[in-house]
């Protein structure tokens, strides 16, 4: 389902997102029914996030009911992705990293050969800079940010497949630079440095090889457009104005918000200038959540992000969770469900491992050390001793 969500991100039709939502609901329900879901405090936050838009609908706090209903489905699917994540083993995250590398390879080749068409077949509405299924460069960069630390940890592990992950990580970095995402390029570069420092005992020459290969691939994929964008006089464009408008929205409705999913419909009433363009997002997920959901909703999500920080730093491969949250300060990596569910799935994989299952109860040990043996009981009652056999049978002495 995660792969489906990303590979259909470019599709404007509602049915593609509906398939993802229904699939995640079904997977989460299956784990709940079978008792395989792990409970932790994050559940409370995610349940609150899924119920808050319904509360806004029930009390008439939203200014656009349909948008808030869509948001309720969104957050229910995000919670389901967390519930449906398959434990905390290494295999799922390796698969996620391998998928990210495959998307990076597709994105680079498509960037220069498709003429803005998704998979060389479907019109994206844009003449260029379409990275695989991602129509928006910053969404693509955020997806790479999330998975790059996973690939880097595997690359620096020295295991049998580490060389493949090293090449894949270098390709991921080069693809973000080729996409010309400024924030994304800075964040993936920081991730490489931080992971190398945290894994300095095992990275060794692997970091040098990674840097050299990333430089070569960047030269091939192209860095000129990114450099041009860094030379712009106003790199943040209208983002400060969107932020000011969002703050004013929050001041007007600090506790209830205007309804999740309604920012584009409320913004014109708070706009400082009219540039003739439709502002679809605040370009700051945190400000948008606060304006739409009020302080309670924004505080709940902030607690979720801050709670993930210690574990993400300790595992190292979870640093992508932090990078995406930082990127959300200047853009909207959580806006599209197909991409956002990856963050919640990785969050579930990055949680602390649960308590190990109880071991089978063994036979009671002998009370007398001189007869160092164990009782062989057919039953193991709660009380000490074995009622149906002699308590201890001395071990026969061995004849030299």
The secondary structure of 66-130, three-state, reads HHHHHHHHHHHHHHHHHHHCCCCCHHHHHHHHHHHHHHHHHHHHHHHHCCCEECCCEECCCCCCC
Residue 86 lies in a domain: yes
Which residue reads 């695989």 in tokens?
132
Number of domains the chain is built from: 2
Residue 113 lies in a domain: yes
State the Rg of the chain over Cα. Answer: 26
Residues 140 and 54 in one domain: yes
Contact 175, 104 (CB under 8 A): yes
Convert 352-387 to b/e letters by CB count within 10 Å (16 or more is b): eeeeeeeeeeeebebeeeeeeeebeeeeeeeeeebe
Contact 133, 7 (CB under 8 A): yes
Residues 16 and 124 in one domain: yes
Residue 16 lies in a domain: yes
Which residue reads 């936050």 in tokens?
45
Residues 279 and 393 in one domain: no
Residues 140 and 208 in one domain: yes
Residue 267 lies in a domain: yes
Residue 119 lies in a domain: yes
Q: Which long-range contacts (CB under 8 A, 24 or more apart) does 15-23 make?
A: 17/337, 17/338, 20/77, 20/337, 20/338, 20/341, 21/73, 21/76, 21/77, 21/337
Residues 217 and 137 in one domain: yes
Contact 243, 284 (CB under 8 A): yes
Residue 357 lies in a domain: no
Write the CA distances from 185 to 116, 138, 219, integer angstroms: 21, 10, 14
Residues 105 and 151 in one domain: yes
Residue 55: which of 329, 300, 341, 344 has the closest Cα? Answer: 300
Residue 211 lies in a domain: yes
| Three-state secondary structure call for residue 134 | strand
* DSSP conformation class of 377: -
Phi, psi dihedrals of residue 131, rounded to the nearest 5°: -100, 95
| pLDDT per residue rounded down to tens, the chain (400 residues) | 889 999 999 898 999 999 999 999 999 898 888 887 778 888 899 999 999 999 999 999 999 999 999 999 999 999 999 988 876 566 788 899 999 999 999 999 998 898 888 999 888 888 878 899 999 999 999 999 999 999 999 888 878 788 899 999 999 999 999 998 999 999 999 999 999 888 877 667 888 888 899 999 989 888 888 888 888 887 777 888 999 999 999 999 999 999 999 999 999 999 887 777 788 899 999 999 999 999 999 999 999 999 999 999 899 999 999 999 999 999 999 999 999 999 999 998 888 776 444 444 444 444 444 444 444 443 333 334 444 444 444 444 444 4
Instruction: Give the pLDDT confidence score for residue 144 in this predicted structure.
Output: 96
Instruction: Give the pLDDT confidence score for residue 370 in this predicted structure.
Output: 45
Residue 209 lies in a domain: yes
Residues 392 and 257 in one domain: no
The answer for residues whose C-beta is within 8 angstroms of residue 330's C-beta and 6 or more apart is: 183, 236, 239, 283, 284
- Helices H, strands E: what count in the chain? 16, 2
Instruction: Give the pLDDT confidence score for residue 362 in this predicted structure.
Output: 47
Contact 214, 174 (CB under 8 A): yes
Residues 201 and 88 in one domain: yes
Residues 62 and 113 in one domain: yes
Residues 338 and 383 in one domain: no
Could you give the residue ranges of the DSSP H alpha helices within 204-284?
A: 205-221, 224-230, 239-252, 263-266
Instruction: Give the pLDDT confidence score for residue 203 in this predicted structure.
Output: 66
Instruction: Give the pLDDT confidence score for residue 89 in this predicted structure.
Output: 62
* DSSP conformation class of 272: S
Residues 335 and 391 in one domain: no
Instruction: Give the pLDDT confidence score for residue 378 in this predicted structure.
Output: 38
Range of the domain at 290: 2-349
Instruction: Give the pLDDT confidence score for residue 354 in this predicted structure.
Output: 60
Residues 220 and 284 in one domain: yes
């Amino acid at each position: 389902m995660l792969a489906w969500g990303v590979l259909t991100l470019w599709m404007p039709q509602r049915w593609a997102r509906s398939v993802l939502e229904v699939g995640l609901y079904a997977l989460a329900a299956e784990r709940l029914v079978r008792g395989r879901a792990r409970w932790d405090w994050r559940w409370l936050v995610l349940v609150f996030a899924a119920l808050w838009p319904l509360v806004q609908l029930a009390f008439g706090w939203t200014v656009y009911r349909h948008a808030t209903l869509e948001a309720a489905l969104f957050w229910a699917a995000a919670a389901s992705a967390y519930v449906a994540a398959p434990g905390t083993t290494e295999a799922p995250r390796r698969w996620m990293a391998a998928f990210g590398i495959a998307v990076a390879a597709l994105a680079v080749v498509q960037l220069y050969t498709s003429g803005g068409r998704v998979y060389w077949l479907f019109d994206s509405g844009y003449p260029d800079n379409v990275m695989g299924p991602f129509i928006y460069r910053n969404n693509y960069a955020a997806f790479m940010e999330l998975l790059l630390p996973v690939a880097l940890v595997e690359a620096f592990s020295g295991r049998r497949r580490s060389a493949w992950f090293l090449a894949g990580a270098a390709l991921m970095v080069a693809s973000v630079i080729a996409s010309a995402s400024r924030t994304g390029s800075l964040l993936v570069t920081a991730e490489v440095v931080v992971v190398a420092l945290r894994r300095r005992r095992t990275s060794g020459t692997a970091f040098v090889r990674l840097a050299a290969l990333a430089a070569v691939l960047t030269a091939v994929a192209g860095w000129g457009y990114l450099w041009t964008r860094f030379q712009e006089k106003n790199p943040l464009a209208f983002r400060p104005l969107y932020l000011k408008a969002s703050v004013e929205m929050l001041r007007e409705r600090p506790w209830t918000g205007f309804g999740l999913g309604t920012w584009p419909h409320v913004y014109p009433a708070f706009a400082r200038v009219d540039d003739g363009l439709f502002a679809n997002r605040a370009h700051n997920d945190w400000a948008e959540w606060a304006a739409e959901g009020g302080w309670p909703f924004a505080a709940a999500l902030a607690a979720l992000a801050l709670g993930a920080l210690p574990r993400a730093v300790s595992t190292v491969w979870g640093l992508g969770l932090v990078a995406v949250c930082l990127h959300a300060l200047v853009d909207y990596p959580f806006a599209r469900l197909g991409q956002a569910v990856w963050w919640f799935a990785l969050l579930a994989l990055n949680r602390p491992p649960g308590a190990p299952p109880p071991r089978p109860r063994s036979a009671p040990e002998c009370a007398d050390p001189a007869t160092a043996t164990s009782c062989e009981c057919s039953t193991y009652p709660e009380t000490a001793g074995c009622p149906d056999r002699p308590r201890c049978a001395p071990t026969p002495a061995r004849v030299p």
